[in-house]
Structure 1
Amino acid sequence: MSFYTSLNGLKNAQTDLGVISHNIANAETNGFKKSRTEFADIVVGSAFTNPRMIIGVGATVESIAQNFSLGPVEQTGSALDMAIGGDGFFTTRNVITNQLLYTRNGGMTVDGDGFITDGSNNRLQVFPTDATGAITSNTPTDAQIPASNGVDAAGNPIEFAGITVGADGSIIATYTDASNLSVGKVILASFIAPQGLKQIGSSNWVTTGISGAPSYGQPGTGQYGSLLSGAVERSNVDIAEELVSLITAQRNFQANAKAIDTSTQITQTVIQLRT
């Protein structure tokens, strides 16, 4: 039995090492959230077993839990770089699958068609607004900046000049004639159980039955958190903490390997006695 107990220990330590390595590898990934491995002990017994005679047979990986604590915020000066000061998530849409994605990485850019996108060309979702900036619908829509805002007296197009994002999520496009146009208001999503979100890479998550459905709102209201333009949230991985955990996991692996080696030596001794 000791062989299988220690073998489970080796597998658990290997899983722990993999999780820690993944954390370290993403120490510079904007919006990344670290994970930790949680273990549970295994015992053998039944309703008729004497409680004093129950035997432990090792441990198992109970879960790999995500940690959504806030990472450090880095100032970038770019208006479309946004950071959330709370528990909310940016909402984007995959243009190929139409699937809604949720991310803490607010590093956005504008593509050739005027859509505000992340690094994977997923389109930022906003609440549509009227000319005064008032929300006209609670249905998420793609954020798109018109290339021009009409024509001037000479018939020349009034071209796009710049963009600003307010603390309330208002995206305002500015044009060469000093006119402004409301593009929409940034949508933030909140979940009753964010630890149940499924990671799909590129600092994106999708909903599951565990996370529950998202609730949408504006920055600075309710549980959605504040919005800071000109900054991005970095990874919440603490390298020093991960290196200590790495050493612990390595020692755990070595100890289980030593236990297997000891069991092998005992077995060989018993076999030699019989022969």
Structure 2
Amino acid sequence: MSFFTSLSGMRNAETDLRVISNNIANAETAGFKKSNAQFADLVATGGSTDPRRTPGIGAAVSAISQDFGLGQLEQTGRVLDVAINGDGFIATANAISGDVTFTRNGNLQLVATGELQDAFGDLVQAFPVDATGTPTSTTPANVLVPTVNGAGETLSSISLDAQGLLVATYSDGSNEPVAMISLASFASNGGLRPIGQTKWETTADSGPPTYGQPGIGNLGQLFSGALERSNVDLAEEMVSLLTAQRNFQANARAIDTATAISQTVLNLQR
């Protein structure tokens, strides 16, 4: 039994190493959130088992939890680099399927057609606004910045304030509110499923998204000209890496010891 107990420890140490390695690999990924492996013990027990003699039979992975703590905000000076100083997520929709996912990576792009996209081509979701910049709906939709205004003047620049209001400026100097970036919150961020590209999708555990305006509640304000760095602490991860390595080595040594004892017993029986 000691072989299988130590084997479970080696498997868990390998899982821990994989989680830590993924954290380290994404230390420079904007909007990345680190994960932590959690374990639970396994006990051989039964209705007639003496609790004073209950042996452990190893461990198993109980969860790989995500840490949604805020990463450092790094100034970039680019207008469409957006950081969220709060718990909200930027919602983006796939241009083909329409599937909505959520991200903390605010590296946004304005394409020639006037669509506002994230770094991977998904369409940013925002509330429509009137001429004063007041939202006219609580249902977000794709952002489309007019490249030419009513007077026939071409788009010269865009700006974004802390409340998420996107304003277009045209060659004649006129300004036109376009949309207000919406932020999403969830009953349980830990229930979100990571799908790569620093994006998450909803699950039954996370609950559906609730959309709101930046700066309201815990959603946080938007910082234009900045990106949120990964919340991975490399020093902490290196310590965890050494610990996981030692755990793996200790379990491997336990198997060696069990093998030596078994070999001794077999030699005695000859």
Using structure 1 for the length normalisation, give the TM-score: 0.96
Q: In structure 2, the residue corresponding to 1:21 is in which secondary structure?
A: helix
Name the structure 1 match of 2:87: 87
One-letter identity of the residue aligned with 1:138:
T
One-letter identity of the residue aligned with 2:111:
D
Counterpart Cα distance in 1 of 2:95 and 2:153: 29
One-letter identity of the residue aligned with 1:87:
D
In terms of mean alpha carbon deviation, does 110-119 or 58-67 score higher? 110-119
Name the structure 2 match of 1:252: 247
Deviation at 1:47, TM superposition (A): 2.8
Q: In structure 2, the residue corresponding to 1:15 is in which secondary structure?
A: helix
Name the structure 2 match of 1:117: 117
Deviation at 1:112, TM superposition (A): 2.2
Residue deviations 1:23-79 (CA, integer Å, cap 9, x gap): 000000000000000011111112322211211111111000000000010011111
Deviation at 1:198, TM superposition (A): 0.2
Name the structure 1 match of 2:56: 56
1:44 aligns with 2:39: no
Name the structure 2 match of 1:133: 133
Q: In structure 1, the residue corresponding to 2:222 is in which secondary structure?
A: strand
Name the structure 2 match of 1:104: 104
Name the structure 1 match of 2:22: 22
- 1:157-176 alignment, distance < 5 Å: 157-176=152-171
Counterpart Cα distance in 2 of 1:227 and 1:47: 58
Counterpart Cα distance in 2 of 1:146 and 1:179: 13
1:197 aligns with 2:192: yes
One-letter identity of the residue aligned with 1:177:
D
Residue deviations 1:223-268 (CA, integer Å, cap 9, x gap): 2112111111010001111000000000000000111111111111
Q: In structure 1, the residue corresponding to 2:87 is in which secondary structure?
A: coil
Q: Percent identity?
A: 54
Name the structure 1 match of 2:66: 66
Residue deviations 1:191-248 (CA, integer Å, cap 9, x gap): 1100110000010000000001111100110121121111110100011110000000
Q: In structure 1, the residue corresponding to 2:150 is in which secondary structure?
A: strand
The CA RMSD over aligned residues, in Å, is 0.9
Q: In structure 1, the residue corresponding to 2:92 is in which secondary structure?
A: strand
Counterpart Cα distance in 2 of 1:86 and 1:223: 6
Deviation at 1:150, TM superposition (A): 2.7
Q: In structure 1, the residue corresponding to 2:180 is in which secondary structure?
A: strand
Choose the corresponding residue for 2:236, options 229, 233, 241. 241
Q: Give ranges in structure 2 of 5+ residues lacking alignment.
A: none
Counterpart Cα distance in 2 of 1:262 and 1:220: 60
Name the structure 2 match of 1:154: none
After TM superposition, what 4+ stretches of structure 1 lie above 6 angstroms from structure 2? none
Counterpart Cα distance in 1 of 2:129 and 2:122: 21
Counterpart Cα distance in 1 of 2:6 and 2:142: 53
Name the structure 2 match of 1:4: 4
Name the structure 2 match of 1:271: 266
Name the structure 2 match of 1:229: 224
One-letter identity of the residue aligned with 1:215:
T
Equivalent residues, number: 270
Deviation at 1:96, TM superposition (A): 2.0
1:33 aligns with 2:33: yes
One-letter identity of the residue aligned with 1:128:
P
One-letter identity of the residue aligned with 1:175:
Y
